[in-house]
Amino acid sequence: MLTEQVCLECIKKTADRAIDRLKKNEIRKENILNSINLFLDKVDKKYSPIEINFEVFNLISSLSEIYDPLKELKEQANLNANQVLPYIKEEEKKSEDILFSLIKASVAGNIIDFSIDKEVNLLSTLKKVLNSSFAINDYDLFLEKLQITKKVQLLTDNAGEIIFDLELLSFLQKRFNKKIVIITKRFPFSNDITLKEVKRLIKKVELKGKIISINNKKYRSYKKKIKKKLDSKAVVISKGQGNYELLSDEKLNIFFLLMVKCPVIAKKIVCNVGDVVFFQK
């Protein structure tokens, strides 16, 4: 998808918030922000928003000389998610369809996103999503595909939501006897989860899965490598809006699970900003 002006404005806001969190003096932060704004003012809109985002985050990391600029934010997101995990486990006991409830919890976790403007009360968000409907819902199709595959692949997104994703994968393995493959970024990018973090977190759940990390230093090679790792015989759960941008044009067995966070994506999917969706394209 091509970049629109509203996409650049969103990227600028996200970069501004990331830079504001850097443990650098104000002059250094202002210089980094000016460099980012200069890059965005000149960038060619033929590139996709996510491709531009890759370059912006790499710039922030290199100019600040901080390997993982949002490390503390990610750790806090995981901590917050773990604190509400007991609520999800209690809801599982009450649910008539545990799998569907866990999918809803997973997408509720997708709302924990550094790139959106407002702070999120995670527990109230969970309660709201668990008691609401998907704007687009291919759950029945997901169940059909699940019956004829031996493998589920998860393409990860943000820190925080990974806690709920792992609960979902654990259930799919125990109840449906599926092989689990987790595909994640190798290096820090915004508040996305990485290989190092997934390896640590997976030890805390009843889940035996293969973890594949993809070198994400360069967007185009990252996209090619992702496509090579996706198994056409598996059911693929793709988390988040960024992964939708990455893979929406691919003809694979992909189920996109996300909250719609911008008008450009809303228009493409044909829904409203703020909707939660679960669909195969």
Q: Are 160 and 269 in a shared domain?
A: yes
The residue from 48, 64, 80 where one domain ends is: 64
Q: Are 238 and 276 in a shared domain?
A: yes
CB 39 within 8 A of CB 45: no
Domain that holds residue 175: 71-280
Residues whose CB falls within 8 Å of the CB of residue 140, separated by 6 or more in sequence, listed in order = none
Q: Are 109 and 224 in a shared domain?
A: yes
Q: Are 136 and 13 in a shared domain?
A: no
**End-to-end alpha carbon distance in the chain:** 15
Please tell me the total count of domains within the chain: 2
CATH number at residue 271: 3.40.50.10880
Q: Are 101 and 13 in a shared domain?
A: no
State residue 1's pLDDT score. Answer: 74
Q: Are 243 and 268 in a shared domain?
A: yes
- Angstrom distances, CA of residue 128 to CA of 108, 191, 273: 9, 24, 16
State residue 122's pLDDT score. Answer: 84
Measured CA to CA, the distance from residue 275 to residue 258 in angstroms comes to: 9
Q: Are 37 and 121 in a shared domain?
A: no
Both tokens of 84, joined, read 């509400």
Rg, the chain, Cα only: 18
State residue 204's pLDDT score. Answer: 92
CB 122 within 8 A of CB 112: yes
- pLDDT tens track, the chain, 281 positions: 789 999 999 999 999 999 999 989 999 999 999 999 999 999 998 999 999 999 999 999 999 999 999 999 999 999 999 999 999 999 988 999 999 999 999 998 887 765 555 556 888 888 888 889 999 999 999 999 999 999 999 999 999 999 999 999 999 999 999 999 999 999 999 999 999 999 999 999 999 999 999 999 999 999 999 999 999 999 999 999 999 999 988 878 899 999 998 999 999 999 999 999 999 98
Q: Are 195 and 162 in a shared domain?
A: yes
State residue 125's pLDDT score. Answer: 83
Phi, psi at 276, each rounded to 5°? -105, 135
